[in-house]
Structure 1
Amino acid sequence: MNQWIAKWLAAALLCLAALAGSAIYLLQTGQPASHREQDALAQTARVKVNELLLYLERHLHEIRSGNHDEELGMLSRTGEIDVLVLALDGSILFDSTGEAKTAYNPRLLLTYDRLANDEDSGRYNIAYPIIDEREDTQIGNAVFSMSRLSLSSSLPSPVWLASTPYLLPAVLAIIMSGLLLLMVWKMRNRMMKPLLKLKDHSEQILNGNYGEIAEYDKQDEIGELYAVFDQMRAEIKHLDTRRVEQDRARKELITNISHDLKTPLTTVKAYIEAIREGVCPDMDSVMAYVDVMKSNTDKMSRLTEDLLLHALQDLGQISVHLREQYSRSLFEDMVKPIAHYARSTGVIIHEPRSIPDVLISADSQRLEQVIGNLVMNALKHTRPEDTIRIDIERTADDLAVTIADTGTGISPEDMPFVFERYYQGRSNKAEAALPTDGSGLGLSICKYIVEAHHGMISFRSVRGEGTRFTFTIPVL
């Protein structure tokens, strides 16, 4: 498109320059076509009578005495020119027509080198002085008369060439008009129609139809616009699909949490009713019931905490208050209660042998949620006698916290969606029919909290061998 516009502008500027040149030429000459035609006829007449004029200059003395009349008459008839020869006093020396008067007033008759048009007879008259070649003095005058037809046929070039300066602007004006029409056609077919088509695509998107692809067959600026527009359409379609999936996942989440809360609540209620009715014969039985109720209330507490954090994350209101503190005492207070709980489930857990004591900027409550979520996630995918290892190491600029397990691992098809909200992967096909223990929010919340600490979280998992999660906190 840019190349086409550049070529069009170059052609238009060239035509304008030619028009300006023609106008300047016409202003400088200032002579209409009829005058130039008269000048061309006068020049042709001079050439036509040149032979007769030379003959008169050489033989005028003999012509005065009556000699050379026949030869002069023959030259006159051959050239189709009537000749009137006058002495300086206006007396007639020779007249090829024989119709001349006895004398003429030279001042009235003679206008040298000027072509006079006799409308009545249809002839042109022109006069020249006769100069003596030897003495270089005027010795007489000659008046030549030629028919208009014979003079016009003797022109050295067509008369229409004299109108060339006027024809050129007309031709340039026609070219400019053609360029303008071409530009209008190009603008309509190469710009307006594609843009109107793009407007229709926009209306389709507004109406929720994201499947119609915007295509353009030329690789120019409009084609680039179409390509960007179609990328936008594809992105909007993707976001709309994600929105629909998230809405469906949100509804499933509410259903799952309702189910997950109902089961422990029913269990707790049943055990309380059993204690009230005296089913337990001794204190040991009561304490066993209390342990079951505590386990179920812990589960409900985790679910409600995840749900609260999810709501705060949607609102962008998960508060992370960073405070400078040393890492050793901070992580020791986090790891010990979590490790104690993990051991109570029958899983072997290894605490870090040593914790680097470096200065970090952290929110202890939020980091405890991250470690707790990662450990609980590992417990969901491990069996008794499996191992969970917690390591805390200093790298170049960060403090790296790793929670690794020897559980079932994550299936490859689940890996791209691990940190997405509501997503609950299945460890294998046999587990697909089992109810899920969780909301699908934990890892998404972990990622949010770690990034709020200006760190990064990643994982590595091998199916059947286990999973390793690592997150970093910058060291000050």
Structure 2
Amino acid sequence: MKLKKWLSLSHLIIMLAPIITAVLLFNVLVDYNKNNDLKDYLLIMSKFKVYEDKIQSPELYNTNSLKDKSFVINKDKNLVLIELYTDIGEKIYPSNESSMLYTQTQELYSDLYKVVTGYKAYTLKKPVFKNSTLIGFYKITIARNIFVKDVNNKTIIAIICFIFVLIIIYTSVILLLNRKFNKPIKLLVEGMHNFATGYGNTVKYENKDEIGEIITNFNIMEKDIEDKRKTIEVDQKTKEYMISSISHDLKTPLTAVRAYSEAIINEKGSDIKKIKNKALVILNKSVYMQKMIDDLLMYNLLTTDYKMNFVEVDGYELFEMLFSGYDEDCEKNEIKLICEISLQGKYKVDVNQMIRVVDNLMSNALRYTPKSGNIYMGAFSIRDAKLAERLGRKDIEELNLIKSEGFVLLIKNDGVIIPKEDKDKVFLPFYQCDDSRSKKTSNGVGLGLSIVNLVIKKHKGEVRIFSEDNSTVFACWIPQKSI
């Protein structure tokens, strides 16, 4: 429940609960008093009957005949009051000497023959006649001490119950407030403190209220910051590793360039062939260093918000151009090259970056393909039946689980496979697998596959590696852009 609704409901309960409790207790008291009142009334009427029989005789109303008379029995001394009056209101017998001697006639004539019920006593007044002549009045008052005491006790109990209910209500409200507000806020504060001191962990709170939303957003923010911190750490380590690797990779060709430059300077003869050979070494090392610098610049560029130059191209014509120019390198290394293109339609790609992707993948394939081995280059629509034949059922099912459109670029080469634990790591800059796949020729600088992965991601695509049975396949999926 949302806190706003919960607070409104709790306030309503706090306001209504005491009122409802008071009404219920009052009704209980009223019902109880009614039941006791009936019992008390029946008991009192019997007492009235007893004492009326004693004071109804007309002879009693002679003022000289009541001296030393006692109509009230001992056990009722504190409960019953009997008063006798003459016809003019003169009191001729009071069982309580403190009562007044005269009573107004109007008061005497009121409520005759009627049992007047008061909170503390019952009162009965009746006239007395002799030969149809009014000779006096009698008034009997019976106290309701037991009833009053019982009512007072029950009232005290009701008040105690009311106070107890109030205590329960306010204790429950305090506990609920602590559960709804204090506890989650304390959890959030502790989580923020732990995160600030470097011991951050997820704040566990499952309620879907406003504080729960704050805690959820805090956990998301904490995770996001932690992920970014780890990314920064990885980037920092990567940069440090890149600097170390570049320094190492530049040191060897620079040493060679310096050595051959000094040799040319110190050459005493005029052997042009030797000078050209040394100059060629310098040129090759310079080309290697230039490629390293170009790859490094491109890698840094692709890791930023670099915007690709997307243009619309025909798929078949694009790959016909991309696959050309590698025959000579394959022949030089005694490698058989097989090319296949089976796709149609228009695609939006950055042509220059796609050239770089194919070039880097082919350089990697040439580096690890043994003599008399094969390199396969293919481009297919994602649903093309030929793609399943080239990749195999298991691999194509893995692609089809998440892909529904676009094309796949395949570069397959014979040779040593990539271990499963290294498949994701090969895209890290300068990462080296085992020695059989980490030998670098003069053309390898360790950034080619990293650049391939970044370019494909810029195209909203993915790169998958399938490496088994002495062959490795790089499958690059790029979605189709309809125009």
**TM-score calculated relative to the size of structure 2:** 0.68
Asked if the contact 1:348–1:387 (Cα under 8 Å) also holds between the matched residues in 2, the reply is: yes
1:340-367 residue CA offsets vs partner (Å, 9 max, x unmatched): 33443x1514142456454222221111
Query: Which residue is 1:448 aligned to?
Result: 454
Matches within 5 A, 1:296-311: 296-311=285-300
Q: Does 1:176 align with 2:166?
A: yes
Query: Which residue is 2:396 aligned to?
Result: none
Asked if the contact 2:378–2:409 (Cα under 8 Å) also holds between the matched residues in 1, the reply is: yes
Query: Which residue is 2:424 aligned to?
Result: 416
Query: Which residue is 1:160 aligned to?
Result: 152
1:119-173 residue CA offsets vs partner (Å, 9 max, x unmatched): xxxx9995512489xx9x9885212366xxxx35454862405746xx7466434
- Deviation, 1:107, is 0.9
Q: Does 1:312 align with 2:301?
A: yes
- 2:407 maps to amino acid: L
Q: 1:334 aligns with which of 322, 332, 338?
A: 322
- Deviation, 1:241, is 4.1
Cα distance in 2, alignment partners of residues 327 and 278 from structure 1: 58
| Alignment CA distance shift 1:169-1:144 (3 Å) | closer
Asked if the contact 2:86–2:135 (Cα under 8 Å) also holds between the matched residues in 1, the reply is: yes
- 2:348 maps to amino acid: S
- 2:412 maps to amino acid: A
Cα distance in 2, alignment partners of residues 416 and 185 from structure 1: 52
Matches within 5 A, 1:182-261: 183-184=173-174, 187=177, 192=182, 195-196=185-186, 198-207=188-197, 209-210=198-199, 213=201, 237=226, 239-261=228-250
Query: Which residue is 1:15 aligned to?
Result: 17
- Deviation, 1:181, is 4.6
Cα distance in 2, alignment partners of residues 334 and 279 from structure 1: 47
Query: Which residue is 2:105 aligned to?
Result: 107
Q: Which SS does the other structure have where 2:295 is aligned? A: helix
Q: 1:427 aligns with which of 418, 425, 434?
A: 434
- Deviation, 1:20, is 6.6
- 2:350 maps to amino acid: D
- 1:341 maps to amino acid: D
Tell me, which stretches of 5 or more residues in structure 2 are unaligned?
Answer: 31-36, 384-404
Cα distance in 2, alignment partners of residues 152 and 393 from structure 1: 108
Q: 2:125 aligns with which of 125, 128, 148?
A: 128
Cα distance in 2, alignment partners of residues 75 and 177 from structure 1: 53
Q: Does 1:391 align with 2:387?
A: no
Matches within 5 A, 1:352-367: 352-354=339-341, 356=343, 358-367=345-354
Q: Which SS does the other structure have where 1:352 is aligned? A: strand
Cα distance in 1, alignment partners of residues 22 and 442 from structure 2: 86
Q: Which SS does the other structure have where 2:339 is aligned? A: coil
Query: Which residue is 1:471 aligned to?
Result: 477
- Deviation, 1:202, is 2.6
Q: 1:457 aligns with which of 460, 463, 466?
A: 463
- Deviation, 1:74, is 8.2
| Alignment CA distance shift 1:434-1:323 (3 Å) | closer
Q: 2:364 aligns with which of 366, 371, 377?
A: 377
Cα distance in 1, alignment partners of residues 279 and 344 from structure 2: 40
- 2:328 maps to amino acid: H
Range moving further from structure 2, 265-274 or 440-449: 265-274
Cα distance in 1, alignment partners of residues 103 and 138 from structure 2: 13
Asked if the contact 1:44–1:154 (Cα under 8 Å) also holds between the matched residues in 2, the reply is: no
- 1:308 maps to amino acid: L
Asked if the contact 1:424–1:439 (Cα under 8 Å) also holds between the matched residues in 2, the reply is: no
Asked if the contact 1:126–1:143 (Cα under 8 Å) also holds between the matched residues in 2, the reply is: yes
| Alignment CA distance shift 1:245-1:256 (3 Å) | same
1:239-292 residue CA offsets vs partner (Å, 9 max, x unmatched): 544433331221121121223233334434555665674878466x67665654
- Deviation, 1:404, is 0.5
- 2:418 maps to amino acid: I
Query: Which residue is 2:48 aligned to?
Result: 50
- Deviation, 1:414, is 1.0
Asked if the contact 2:303–2:454 (Cα under 8 Å) also holds between the matched residues in 1, the reply is: no
Q: Which SS does the other structure have where 2:378 is aligned? A: strand
Asked if the contact 1:456–1:473 (Cα under 8 Å) also holds between the matched residues in 2, the reply is: no
Tell me, which stretches of 5 or more residues in structure 1 are unaligned?
Answer: 30-38, 117-122
Cα distance in 2, alignment partners of residues 360 and 205 from structure 1: 47
Count of matched residue pairs: 432
- 1:364 maps to amino acid: V
Cα distance in 2, alignment partners of residues 436 and 251 from structure 1: 23
**TM-score calculated relative to the size of structure 1:** 0.68
Q: Which SS does the other structure have where 2:302 is aligned? A: helix
Query: Which residue is 1:404 aligned to?
Result: 412
Cα distance in 2, alignment partners of residues 379 and 98 from structure 1: 132
- Deviation, 1:228, is 8.3
Asked if the contact 1:256–1:439 (Cα under 8 Å) also holds between the matched residues in 2, the reply is: no
- Deviation, 1:431, is 6.7
- Deviation, 1:77, is 3.8
- Deviation, 1:115, is 8.9
Cα distance in 2, alignment partners of residues 89 and 352 from structure 1: 142
